[in-house]
Amino acid sequence: MRGDIFLSLKEARRLHVIEQTIAGKLTIAQAAQLLNLSERQVKRLKKGVMVQGEAFLVHKNRGCTPKNAIPREVRDMVVSCALGKYKNASGEQMAELLAEDHGIEVSARSVRRILSAAGIPLKYARKPARRRRSRDRMPSFGMLMQCDASPFAWFEERGPQAVLHGVIDDATSKVLALYFRPTEDLFGYFTVLLHLLLNFGIPKAFYCDRHTIFFSPKKDKLSIEEELAGKTVKLTQFGRALSELGIEHIPARSPQAKGRVERLWGTLQGRLTIELRRAGISDIDAANRFLPGFIAKFNARFEKEPASQESAFGPRPAKETLDRIVCLKETRKASNGSTIPFGGKTYQLLGPSGAVLPLKPRSAVEVLTLLDGTLAALYEEKYCRLKEFQPSANKASKLRTNAPHIVKKTYSPPATHPWRRPIKTCKRSSDPAPYDGFWEDVYAG
């Protein structure tokens, strides 16, 4: 505020720069650069301030009521009706009633704005829906897989709660794999991934939510070894398997983003539940045996034609190759005795001939837990079987163990030992001389 004139921050800054220009401390070009204006506008402002003063910078419509402003009487009428006979009416209904009863033409948005300014909450106020652009399907079969799981009472009251893991193709809405598990876990996702790879091949990309099975919550905390190896994201077991297969892993930011698989669960919860009831199935194992026939029937009914007939799937890997990828991998360090610890036990690595492999001390060994529960290992990129190590009993140790325990007596010096004799000090010349045979007694033992 200067005098009786109120200036905004923008106007006050302009005034300061123009005053510096009038005083000759700034050039027209410098002022134009500071105010982000043209030199012509700066000259106009300078001339106006020199003639009219700082009032020249104030907008001329300040303090004037806009022509399209709602009159105060109408605002008071809207507030009065909202507190009286139109109480709890929505904004749309209140605008209709005001036009019908009082001839007041006010939009529903204006009604909501007036009541909001008056502090009157609307009972039916709701957040306007977000506008989203629908994503087109992928053109080819195999370009994008949507993966998810659905917990539901699939067996109704006949059996336990179960979680159905599934993969659906984005281009065709074709269900490629389904598998029941008691809970949502890595084993269920690995199983549907293995079925997909064996039956169709390697897809281009996987689209999943941000569950910790897919993406690590500590992805920004890499170890020094991982950084030196060139890794930028700490992968989960599932993410590591996709990376080794060359499949792009895309995180979905919302359930709506992977709407194809989300809508699939709504359809399956209606159709698959009835099919399981018709077949009298009430446990997970029987349901998993039932799923292949149901998938074929379901796809025949709901599968769509892709825009391009060319498949984007890569070649199907061999079962032996997939066993080394679609599994749980954990790294262990070899001991000096060519063994590795795992699961509270000690194992040796066996080569193709069945001989025990010698391992470099402290070398890294990758232990593989396959989907069937068996263990294997990768050492220097070689696939090895594991054998539990049973150390042989040493006869000498047995004899030493069976020998009677001899208690070693503690040495106690005799009473005549020099350490037991009192030490005398010579305080006066009349005292007898100290004992001179101390060291002779010590050596005599």
DSSP calls for 132-174: -PPPPPPSBTTS-EEEEEEEE-TTTTSS--EEEEEEEETTT--
Q: Say if residue 296 is in the same domain as residue 332.
A: no
Q: How far apart are CA 236 and CA 208, in angstroms?
A: 13
Q: Say if residue 175 is in the same domain as residue 105.
A: no
Q: Say if residue 295 is in the same domain as residue 358.
A: no
Tell me which of 302, 318, 345 is where a domain ends. Answer: 302
- Asked if residue 344 belongs to a domain, the reply is yes
What is the token pair recorded at 12? 């006050």
Residue 85's pLDDT is 78
CB 331 within 8 A of CB 366: yes
Domain that holds residue 48: 9-57
Q: Is pLDDT above 60 for 146?
A: yes
Residue 442's pLDDT is 45
Q: Is pLDDT above 70 for 433?
A: no
Within 13 Å of residue 180, how many CA atoms lie on the same side as its CB? Answer: 25
Query: Collapsing DSSP states into helix, strand and coil, what is residue 365?
Result: strand
Q: Say if residue 151 is in the same domain as residue 105.
A: no
- Asked if residue 417 belongs to a domain, the reply is no
Residue 83's pLDDT is 86
Residue 4's pLDDT is 57
Q: Is pLDDT above 80 for 270?
A: yes
- Asked if residue 88 belongs to a domain, the reply is yes
Q: How far apart are CA 369 and CA 371, in angstroms?
A: 7
Q: Say if residue 203 is in the same domain as residue 257.
A: yes
Residue 182's pLDDT is 95
Residue 402's pLDDT is 56
- Asked if residue 127 belongs to a domain, the reply is no
Residue 399's pLDDT is 47
pLDDT band at 439 (very low <50, low <70, confident <90, very high): very low
Q: Say if residue 166 is in the same domain as residue 285.
A: yes
* b (16+ CB within 10 A) / e for 310-327: eebbbeebeeeebbbbbb
Residue 66's pLDDT is 74
Residue 132's pLDDT is 63
Q: How far apart are CA 348 and CA 389, in angstroms?
A: 6
- Asked if residue 104 belongs to a domain, the reply is yes
Q: Say if residue 53 is in the same domain as residue 77.
A: no
- Asked if residue 80 belongs to a domain, the reply is yes
Residue 131's pLDDT is 66
- Asked if residue 32 belongs to a domain, the reply is yes
**Domain at 258, CATH number:** 3.30.420.10
Tell me which of 373, 388, 403 is where a domain ends. Answer: 388
Tell me which of 341, 372, 388 is where a domain ends. Answer: 388
Q: Is pLDDT above 90 for 92?
A: no
pLDDT band at 84 (very low <50, low <70, confident <90, very high): confident
Q: How far apart are CA 418 and CA 397, in angstroms?
A: 43
- What is the rounded average pLDDT of the residues 73-79? 88
Structurally, the chain folds into a number of domains equal to 4
Q: Is pLDDT above 50 for 5?
A: yes
* Closest by CA position to 239, among listed 202, 217, 214, 209: 214
Q: Say if residue 188 is in the same domain as residue 273.
A: yes
Share of the chain above pLDDT 70, in %: 85
Of 1 and 369, which is predicted with more confidence? Answer: 369
Q: Say if residue 381 is in the same domain as residue 280.
A: no
Contacts of 294 (CB under 8 A, 6+ apart): 178, 272, 275
Q: Say if residue 229 is in the same domain as residue 257.
A: yes
DSSP calls for 17-73: HHHHHHTTSS-HHHHHHHHT--HHHHHHHHHHHHHHGGGGGS-TTTTPPPTTPPPHH
Q: Say if residue 159 is in the same domain as residue 297.
A: yes
Q: How far apart are CA 25 and CA 16, in angstroms?
A: 11
- What is the rounded average pLDDT of the residues 368-372? 91
CB 237 within 8 A of CB 211: no
- What is the rounded average pLDDT of the residues 336-354? 89
Residue 259's pLDDT is 84
- What is the rounded average pLDDT of the residues 196-222? 87
Q: Say if residue 154 is in the same domain as residue 258.
A: yes
Angle at 288 between CA 269 and CA 330, to 5 degrees: 110
Most confident of 12-26, 160-174, 334-348: 160-174
Task: Encode pLDDT of 378-400 as tens digits.
Answer: 998 888 889 888 876 554 455 45
Instruction: Could you list the beta-strand ranges (E) of 170-274.
Output: 175-181, 205-208, 248-251
Q: How much is the mean pLDDT over the chain?
A: 84
Which residue is it, tokens 């500590």? 218
Q: Is pLDDT above 60 for 215?
A: yes
- Asked if residue 371 belongs to a domain, the reply is yes
- What is the rounded average pLDDT of the residues 288-317? 92
Residue 125's pLDDT is 61
